[in-house]
Structure 1
C-alpha cells in the first residue's frame, strides 16, 4: 500500500499546482508540455531505458493510446470545466472508476469478494456525496460531450497503465519513457501551433512551473504503476483506493490550504470514502492471507 500512498500524495500535489497555476496566470498548456519533457529527463536519469528496445516493433497500441490521451485529457478537462462547471467535471473524472472496475472484472478476471462489493458500492456513493456542488453554469445538451470525454478518457488511461505494468517484452520503465516522449511531442506541436496562429508567447516561468509539475506527475505515474505490479491480482483495490484516497486527501488540502467550504453532504461523502477504503483494504488483506 505504500506505493498507493505515495501516488496519492503526488496526485494531490499535481492538483494543487494546477490550481495555483490558474491563480497566478501560468499557462497550463505550456506547463503541461514542459512537464513531460522533465518527466523524460527523470526517466532517462533513473530508469536508464534500454535504447535498443525503443523500436517501431516495441511500440504497441497501448503506448500510442496513452501518448495521445495524457496531453489530450488536460484539454478535455479545461473545456469541461468551462462548459459544464468544476463540480460536474470532478464527478465525471472520479466516476471513471466504473470503467476501471469493469476492466478489473471482465479483462483482468479478478474475483470479487462480498466485502469488496460493499466497499466499491459505498465508494461510489462517497464520490457523489463528496463532489456534489451547486453550480451556476448553464449546461446545454451538446456540452455534456466534454464531461463524457473526461469520464471515458480517465477510465481508459487507468486501464492502459495496468496493461503496461503487465507487459513482459518491454520493461514498464522503458514503456513509461516511450509514453512520456509521445506525450511531449504531441504537446509541443500544440503549443507551437498556438504560438503561430494565436501569437501565444513562450515564457520561461511556464517552463519552470512545468518542471516542478513534471516531478510530481512523474512520481504519481511511477508509483501508480508500481502499486499495480505489487498488487497484480487486485487491480480493483488499486483503482478504487487511488480514486477515493485522492478525494479524501484533496478535500482536506482544499479545506486547510484553499479555505474551501464543504456541506454536510460533502462531509458524509468523506466519511463514506474512508469506510470504503477500509473495507477494500480488508478485502485485499483477506485475499493475501
Structure 2
C-alpha cells in the first residue's frame, strides 16, 4: 500500500513539474555577447539608427511577424521619417512597387507587374499593405536577378556590356569585391568542397581552374546584390530618416555584406543589425552565434515554416 502511494505521489509530482515547467518562447533576443535583451531596447536603438538591417530567415514566420511589428512601432516612433527597403523587390520593379504603395494600383496589378517571391502573400504583403496605409516609401533595393545570374556565370566584367538603363539598376561599376571577407571566403570554400564531392583539396582562393572561377563568380554575384542593396539604401535615405531594410540573414550577418558596402561609402552611418538563428533551445543560444549582429534573434529550431 505504501509503495503504491509513493508511486502515485511521484507520478503526480512529475506531471505537476511538466505543467509548472518553463514557458516555450517563440523567440528570444540577445546582445552580440548573447546576454538576454528586450524588444524595447531593439526598438530604441532602431529608432536612433540611420539604417536597420533585419537579417531574416526567408521561410520563418517569427521573422516576418517581428518585421511587421518593428515596422509598425518604428512608424509610431519616427512620425513619418521611416523608409522601408527590401531584398525581395528588385530595382527594375520599383515603379510597380511604388504604384502599389502609393495606392495607384491594386494587388493584382502588382502581381502582374513585379516579380514577387513565392511567399509574398503570407510574409511581405502585410508590410507592403501597412506601407500603403501609412504612406511609407518602400524601396526595391535588390539587383535584377538576371544580372546576378550573369555575374555568377560570366563574372563581373560581363556587366560592362549591358545597357545604360541596366547599369542604373545596380551599384556603380566597376565594383570592388573583397573575396577575403570571411562571408565570401566561406561561401567559396563551401562551393569548392561541394564541387569536389566534399574534398577540400582544391582551394577556392586559387585563381586557376574552371571550378575556382565558378566559385569566385558565385561570391561576386552575392557581392553585386550586397553592393546594390547598399547603393539604393544610401540613395533613398535622407537626414533624420531611418531605413528599415529586410534581407536574408547572410547579407548582413557578421557585419559584412551590405554593412561592408555601407561603411565603405558612409563610415559615419549609424547601423543596427539583427541576425536570425534557429536553435534547439532559444533560452540557451549556442556560442557560435556570438557577434553575429547587434541583436541576435533566437527562434526554436522546430518552428513551423511559411513554405
Please confirm whether the aligned pair reaches a TM-score higher than 0.5, indicating the same fold.
no
Instruction: Give the structure-2-normalised TM-score.
Output: 0.23
Tell me which protein shows more helix as a share of its residues. Answer: 1
Bigger strand share: 2
The higher relative CO (CA closer than 8 Å, separation ≥ 6) is in 1
